[in-house]
Amino acid sequence: MGAAGGSYALVAAAHPVFGRAEVYFAESARAMIASHRYVTPRYLGQPFFDKPILSYWAIVASFQAFGVTHFAARLPSLLAALATAALTGTATARLAGKRAGLAAAAVLSSSYLFGYFATLSMSDMWLTLFVSAACALLFAGSVQASRRTAAWWLASVCLGLAFLSKGPVGVILPVGSFLSYLALARELKQIRLQHLLTAVATVGVLAGVWFFALWRENGTHALYAFFIEENLLRFRGQTYSTDRSFGYMPLSFVVGGLPWTLLLPAVGWEFWRKRREWRTSVEGRGQMMLWCHAAVVISFFWLSRMQLDYYILPALPAFAAMAGMYLARPAARHELLARIGGWALAVTLILLGAAAGVYLWPKPGGESLWSGEMLAVWVLACGLAMAALLACGRHAPAYAMVFLAICGGSALGAEAGSPAYRRYVPVADYTRAARQNGAATTLALSSDLDLWRAEFAFQAGQVPQRVDTPKELADFLGGSGPRMAVVPESWTPGLAGELSGRVRVVDRRPGLAKGVTLATLLDSAKLQGSLAPVALVSNDGDDGAGVVEKPTP
């Protein structure tokens, strides 16, 4: 857990700009603190009903404790991820022993998609935590009749928190999984009316308080926007539609669980081979519950017209538990599928390390945009060490090398890539310049750079005004008080005649204004094709100075 937490923290701290949908959560939480209004999330000044409140409150608490920074925005997700890994390990250990629990926690925390979203300021890791906790408690109550009422009440608390994290899906996924399990186990009679009434009341109280406050503050439109537009119509593809290929969700599960889903055939075969134990042992019934949960998560979003890869996150703890149980079995070391899976992992690491070395190693006389030498060396060394350990029959240390390769590689990659992010998305440099120019400085941003608007709002504490033409830029800079604007460089020559002596170009540089991804930064040809010259312009020039350019920092 320490290695995973350290890796997550380094990655979360290294990225100076938000990715995916992070900025919606972080900027809305910052606006809550600025306005002292904590019921309705507001994004760029407008009410934002996309997600329930729990994730926003967690980020608000982090901001108040550690300051308004990118790392503080991501810290709640990081803690939720570590809690989910610990929960997965503990629950697996109760089913199959400590070795299985340790392996399950390691598998989950080093799975591709889980590790990625552990470092993002979004609501999905909270959903994964509470859905996993609800499933664990529902199963525990099923196999322990004496503790059933208490366990299922705690599960309903987790269902309420999952609802406050992501909405109705936080109840649908664990309840659907548990009912599927009970049907297969022929134990549906366990559920009594009092259990249902208690669960409905608990979820209703936990989630209902905030929804009532939301209704009081915004009216019925807020409830319609959340329940109908952002949930029902989104599921049906009427609000958003992604038009994915038929197998997108199962493929997302396989890719999201890499590298450990290379063991999926072996894990599935082992479960099928022991099908006679499905109803006769607690471990067998636990695996049946885990398979039901993974299947329900994938199937539910497979039916939706709105499909995103990270929707399968709640299924990854279930797979990690099954993989941990499989890896902890002594017999697995001698099985053909296990040996094939182990060597496939080792070869994958070796090939990735070699490819990274070829791609990222500095070219003689070339511009080094991405210092990834240590990343390549680390992954290659872990792959070679794993191969050597497998050859010696030391399977447990060999699989540990996969965990170390991913944790170390993630931290090294993030640290190496940070300068490129800072160079081509200069929001931090420009907001720092605005603060140095004075607290009263008003900011503006051209419509060409709208993807930076929320990032500027978060870092500068104000929503930049929008300018659509050079004429609007001139009118903005001619206003009263200190003003700064970030615009395409092609707009600046006309300012010399119109506002001669009153403006200066503080900085010029190429910038990424149409999406920032790791793939763009790694591909030099794609990077050069995506860059557009931008300029930071200020109205604080000296008389007669004209347009003055400062060196790029």
pLDDT digits (tens, 9 = 90+) for 333-388: 566 777 777 888 899 889 988 887 776 665 544 444 455 678 888 889 999 999 99
For range 212-238, the mean pLDDT: 92
Phi, psi of 400 (to 5 degrees): -65, -30
pLDDT the model gives residue 363: 53
Distance separating alpha carbons of residues 196 and 188, to the nearest angstrom: 13
Mean pLDDT of 19-40: 91
Cα–Cα separations (whole angstroms), residue 219 to 42, 44, 211, 213: 15, 20, 10, 10
Inform me whether the pLDDT recorded for 211 exceeds 80: yes
For the stretch 494-540, pLDDT in tens is 776 656 567 888 888 888 766 656 555 656 666 677 788 888 988 86
Q: Does 158 have pLDDT greater than 90?
A: yes
Q: How far apart are CA 348 and CA 336, in angstroms?
A: 18
Does the pLDDT value for residue 317 go beyond 90?
yes
Q: What percent of the chain has pLDDT over 90?
A: 49
- Cα–Cα distance list, 201 to 23, 171, 190, 422 (Å): 34, 13, 19, 49
pLDDT of residue 463: 84
pTM strictly above 0.85: yes
Instruction: Judge if the upstream peptide bond of residue 259 is cis by omega within 30 degrees of 0.
Output: yes
Contact (Cβ atoms closer than 8 angstroms) between residue 387 and residue 350: yes
- H-run or E-run covering 486: strand 483-488
b/e map of 289-308 (b: 16 or more CB within 10 Å)?
bbbbbbbbbbebbbebbbbb
Q: What amino acid is encoded at 63 in this protein?
A: F
Q: Per-residue DSSP letters for 403-457?
A: HHHHHHHHHHHHHHHHHHHHHHSTHHHHHHHHHHH-TT-EEEEEGGGGGGHHHHH
Paired tokens of 518: 């790791």
pLDDT at 547: 34
Q: What is the pLDDT of residue 372?
A: 65
pLDDT at residue 545 greater than cutoff 60: no
| pLDDT value at residue 544 | 32
CA dist., res. 398 & res. 292, Å (int): 30
Q: How confident is the model at residue 332 (pLDDT cuts 50, 70, 90)?
A: low
What is the total residue count of the chain? Answer: 553
pLDDT of residue 192: 93
Angle made by CA atoms 137, 300, 197, in degrees to the nearest 5: 45
The span from the CA of 352 to the CA of 93, in Å, is 32
The answer to whether 489 touches 533, Cβ cutoff 8 Å, is yes
Report the pLDDT value the prediction gives residue 491, as an integer from 0 to 100: 87
Q: What is the pLDDT of residues 180-200, one digit of tens each?
A: 999 999 999 999 999 999 999
Q: Is the pLDDT of residue 105 over 80?
A: yes
What pLDDT was estimated at residue 220? 95
Looking at residues 437-463, what average pLDDT do you find?
A: 85
